[in-house]
Amino acid sequence: MTKAEKVFYIVCVILFGILLVSIFRLQVIQGEHYKQVAESNFVRIHRITATRGEIYDQKYRPIVQNIPSHNLYLMASAIQDLPALARFLELHFELSPEELNQAIFRNRFRSYEEILLVDNVAFEKMLSVSEYLNYYPELSFRVDSTRQYHYPNHFTGYVGRINEREYDQHRDEDYSINSYIGKTGLERYYEVLLRGKDGREIVQVDARGRSLGLFKEGGYEDPLHGLSLVLTIDNDLQDFAMRVFPDNVKGAIVVSDVRTGGILAYVSKPEYDPNLFMRRISPEIWEDLNNPNKPLLDRVIHATYPPGSVFKPITLGFGLHKDIVQRDTRLSPCIGGFQVGNRFFRCWEHKGHGRTNAVEALMQSCDVYFYDLSLQLPLDDFKAYALESHLATKTGIDLPNERNGFFPDTQWYFKTFGQNIGIQGHKVNLSIGQGEILTSPIQMNAYYSAIANDGIWIQPHLLKQTVGRAILTRDEVDKLEKIRLPLDNDDLKTIQDGLYAVCNGPKGTARSVQVPGATTFGKTGSAENSMGDLTHAWFCGYIVTDKPEIAVTVFMENAGGGSAMAAPIARQIFDYYMGNIEDIKRAAPVPAQFRHEEIPPQNESQDQIEPTESEDGIEEMPEQDVQVEQ
Amino acid sequence: MINRRKIDFVLLALMVALIAVGCVAIYTASTTVISEHISTANYWWRQLIFAALAFAIMFVILKLPMPIFDILILPAFVLNLLLLILVLFTPAVNGAHRWFSIGGINIQPSESAKLLTILVVARYISKENLSDYRRMAYGFGIMIVPVLLILIEPDFGTTVVFWVALLAMLIASDIPLFFILLIISPIVSVIASLHWVGVLLWIAILIFLLIRARLSWVAITVSALINIFIAMIMPVFWMGLKGYQQDRIMTFLDPTRDPLGAGYQIIQSKIAIGSGALSGKGWLQGTQKNMNFLPEHHTDFIYSVIGEEFGFLGSLFLLSLFFAFFARFIRDIGKLKVRERKVASSGIMAYLMFQTFINIGMNIGLVPATGIPLPFISYGGSNLLINTVSVSVVLKYLNERGFIK
Mean of pLDDT values over B117-139: 90
* Residue pair B99/B106 in contact by the 8 Å Cβ criterion: yes
Pairwise CB contact (< 8 Å): A111 & B360? no
**What is d(CA B143, CA B122) in angstroms, rounded to the nearest whole number?**
11
B172 to chain A, closest Cα gap in Å: 5
Name every residue whose Cβ is closer than 8 Å to that of residue A469 and which is 6 or more positions away in sequence.
Answer: A196, A224, A225, A227, A602, A606, A618
The band of A616, judged by pLDDT with boundaries at 50, 70 and 90, is very low
Number of domains in chain A: 3
Burial (Cβ within 10 Å: 0-12, 13-18, ≥19) of residue A197: middle
Amino acid at A50: A
**What is d(CA A235, CA A244) in angstroms, rounded to the nearest whole number?**
14
Pairwise CB contact (< 8 Å): A23 & B39? no
Which segment, A115-124, A161-170, A452-461, A602-611, is predicted with the most confidence on average? A452-461
Pairing of strands A44-48, A62-74: unpaired
Pairing of strands A180-182, A159-161: antiparallel
**What is d(CA A28, CA B312) in angstroms, rounded to the nearest whole number?**
7
Amino acid at B62: L
What are the CA-CA distances from residue B394 to residues B45, B90, B333, B349 (Å)? 27, 33, 8, 9
Q: How confident is the model at residue A457, as a pLDDT?
A: 95
Q: Which of A182-196, B120-134, B349-363 has the lowest mean pLDDT?
A: B120-134
Same domain, A246 and A297: yes
What is the DSSP code (8-state) at residue A151?
Answer: S
**Between chain A and chain B, how many beta carbons pairs sit less than 8 Å apart?**
181
pLDDT higher than 80, residue B75: yes
Peptide linkage before A460 cis (omega within 30 of 0): no
**What is d(CA A233, CA A155) in angstroms, rounded to the nearest whole number?**
10
- To the nearest whole percent, how much of chain A has pLDDT over 70? 90
Provide the phi-psi class of B363: left if phi over 0, else alpha when psi is between -120 and 50, else beta. Answer: alpha
**What is d(CA A427, CA A414) in angstroms, rounded to the nearest whole number?**
13
Q: Which structural domain, as residue segments, surrounds residue A323?
A: 235-585
Burial (Cβ within 10 Å: 0-12, 13-18, ≥19) of residue B114: buried
Same domain, A308 and A210: no
Nearest to B56 by CA among B66, B44, B48, B65: B48
Same domain, A49 and A85: yes
Residues 37-56 of A with CB under 8 A from B: 37-39, 41, 43-45
- What is the total residue count of chain A? 630
CB contacts, 8 Å: B346 with chain A: 4, 8
In this structure, what is the dihedral angle of CA atoms A181, A264, A395, A527, given to the nearest 10 degrees?
120
pLDDT tens-place string over residues B378-404:
998 888 999 999 999 999 998 876 543
Q: How confident is the model at residue A174, as a pLDDT?
A: 83
Q: What is the mean pLDDT of chain A?
A: 86
The band of A217, judged by pLDDT with boundaries at 50, 70 and 90, is low
**What is d(CA A530, CA B277) in angstroms, rounded to the nearest whole number?**
77
Question: CA geometry: angle at A611 spanning A609 and A613, to 5°?
Answer: 90
Pairwise CB contact (< 8 Å): A216 & B254? yes
Residue A326 lies in a domain: yes
Pairwise CB contact (< 8 Å): B278 & A80? no
**What is d(CA A557, CA A306) in angstroms, rounded to the nearest whole number?**
11
Q: Which of A202-216, A448-462, B266-280 has the lowest mean pLDDT?
A: A202-216
pLDDT tens-place string over residues A357-375:
999 999 999 999 999 999 8
Q: How confident is the model at residue A256, as a pLDDT?
A: 96
Same domain, A304 and A443: yes
pLDDT tens-place string over residues B14-38:
999 999 999 999 998 888 776 666 7
Question: CA geometry: angle at B257 spanning B252 and B259, to 5°?
Answer: 110
Q: How confident is the model at residue B117, as a pLDDT?
A: 95
> CB A469: neighbour CB atoms within 10 A?
23
What is the DSSP code (8-state) at residue B282?
Answer: -
Pairing of strands A519-527, A220-221: unpaired
Peptide linkage before A152 cis (omega within 30 of 0): no
Same domain, A286 and A138: no
> CB B75: neighbour CB atoms within 10 A?
10
Domain boundaries, chain B: 4-399
Same domain, A253 and A113: no
What are the CA-CA distances from residue A351 to residues A354, A374, A501, B56 (Å)? 9, 22, 20, 87
Q: How far is CA A49 from the centre of its chain?
A: 24
Of A231, A264, A289, the last residue of a domain is A231
Question: CA geometry: angle at A607 spanning A605 and A610, to 5°?
Answer: 115
Nearest to B265 by CA among B255, B274, B276: B255
pLDDT tens-place string over residues B285-330:
777 776 666 666 788 889 999 999 999 999 999 999 999 999 999 9
Mutate to test the interface with A, among B264, B265, B273 (most CBs of A within 10 A): B264
Same domain, A147 and A263: no
* Residue pair A465/A230 in contact by the 8 Å Cβ criterion: yes
Q: What is the DSSP string of A311-376?
A: GHHHHHHHHHHTTSS-TT---SPBSSEEEETTEEEEPSSTT--BS--HHHHHHHT-HHHHHHHHHT
Residues 73-102 of B with CB under 8 A from A: 93-94
Q: How confident is the model at residue A606, as a pLDDT?
A: 40
* Residue pair A240/A575 in contact by the 8 Å Cβ criterion: no
Residues 203-222 of A with CB under 8 A from B: 204, 214-219, 221
Collapsing DSSP to helix, strand or coil, A555 comes out as strand
B79 to chain A, closest Cα gap in Å: 31
* Residue pair A115/A74 in contact by the 8 Å Cβ criterion: yes
CB contacts, 8 Å: B254 with chain A: 216
**What is d(CA A58, CA A238) in angstroms, rounded to the nearest whole number?**
11
Name every residue whose Cβ is closer than 8 Å to that of residue A271 and which is 6 or more positions away in sequence.
Answer: A152, A153, A154, A242, A295
Residue A36 lies in a domain: no
pLDDT tens-place string over residues A72-121:
888 777 777 888 888 898 888 888 888 888 887 777 666 566 788 888 88
Same domain, A555 and A571: yes
Q: How confident is the model at residue B293, as a pLDDT?
A: 64
**What is d(CA B112, CA B102) in angstroms, rounded to the nearest whole number?**
16
* A417 in B contact zone (CB under 8 Å): no
Amino acid at A22: S
What is the DSSP code (8-state) at residue B309?
Answer: H
Residue A138 has, within 13 A of its CA and on its CB side, a CA count of: 22
Q: How confident is the model at residue B245, as a pLDDT?
A: 78
Collapsing DSSP to helix, strand or coil, A58 comes out as coil
Provide the phi-psi class of B20: left if phi over 0, else alpha when psi is between -120 and 50, else beta. Answer: alpha
Nearest to B58 by CA among B383, B385, B332: B385
Mean of pLDDT values over B57-73: 90
Q: What is the CATH number of the domain that holds A202?
A: 3.90.1310.10
Residue A14 lies in a domain: no
Same domain, A350 and A439: yes
pTM of the model: 0.72
Same domain, A599 and A508: no
CB contacts, 8 Å: B350 with chain A: 8
CB contacts, 8 Å: B291 with chain A: 41, 77, 111-112
- To the nearest whole percent, how much of chain B has pLDDT over 90? 40
**What is d(CA A71, CA A112) in angstroms, rounded to the nearest whole number?**
18
CB contacts, 8 Å: A19 with chain B: 319, 357, 360-361, 364, 366
Q: What is the CATH number of the domain that holds A413?
A: 3.40.710.10
Mutate to test the interface with B, among A2, A3, A27, A106 (most CBs of B within 10 A): A27
pLDDT tens-place string over residues A395-433:
999 999 999 999 999 889 988 888 877 788 888 999 999
CB contacts, 8 Å: B333 with chain A: 4-5, 8
Q: How confident is the model at residue B330, as a pLDDT?
A: 95
What are the CA-CA distances from residue B303 to residues A12, A36, A123, B19, B363 (Å)? 19, 20, 47, 13, 7
What are the CA-CA distances from residue A54 to residues A150, A399, A627 (Å)? 11, 17, 21
Q: How confident is the model at residue B164, as a pLDDT?
A: 93
CB contacts, 8 Å: A80 with chain B: 35
Residue A32 lies in a domain: no
CB contacts, 8 Å: A18 with chain B: 357, 361, 366
Residues 438-467 of A with CB under 8 A from B: none
Name every residue whose Cβ is closer than 8 Å to that of residue B196 and which is 6 or more positions away in sequence.
Answer: none
Pairwise CB contact (< 8 Å): A38 & B326? no
Same domain, A332 and A443: yes
Question: Across B214-336, where does the E strand assignment appear?
Answer: none
**What is d(CA A571, CA A520) in angstroms, rounded to the nearest whole number?**
9
**What is d(CA A521, CA A504) in angstroms, rounded to the nearest whole number?**
8
